[in-house]
Amino acid sequence: MEPVTMYTTHWCPDCRRAKYFLKQRGVAYLEINIEEDPSAEAIVLRANHGRRKVPTLKIGDRYFACSPFNPVKLASELNVPLNP
């Protein structure tokens, strides 16, 4: 699997759901809090056409937002099972 980076915030319930989803499926990821890293916030804004959507995930060279949390979309994007 290509490396996964998840751009998050501390307060985001969708981020917590996405992290739980990945952990349940054994998917390793790097978490970057955009409130602590202005360059990461800029990446999220660029990837989402000026919108500050979290979680935004980077897989290889592509980005997608999972806000609101959508387990079907996330499973499809990562090519992992919907149910662990």
pLDDT tens-digit series, residues 14-33:
999 999 999 999 999 999 99
The pTM of the full predicted model, rounded to 2 decimals, is 0.93
Q: At what angle do helices 71-78 and 13-24 cross, to 10 degrees?
A: 50
What sign results for the dihedral spanned by CA atoms 51, 19, 74, 5?
positive
- For residue 39, what are the domain limits? 4-69
In a domain, 44, yes or no: yes
In a domain, 77, yes or no: no
In a domain, 57, yes or no: yes
Query: The domain that contains 21 carries what CATH number?
Result: 3.40.30.10
Position 1 scores a pLDDT of 73
In a domain, 61, yes or no: yes
Position 78 scores a pLDDT of 92
In a domain, 52, yes or no: yes
Position 15 scores a pLDDT of 98
Checking if the pLDDT of 2 tops 90, the result is no
Q: How many domains are contained in the chain? A: 1
Position 51 scores a pLDDT of 96
In a domain, 75, yes or no: no
In a domain, 39, yes or no: yes
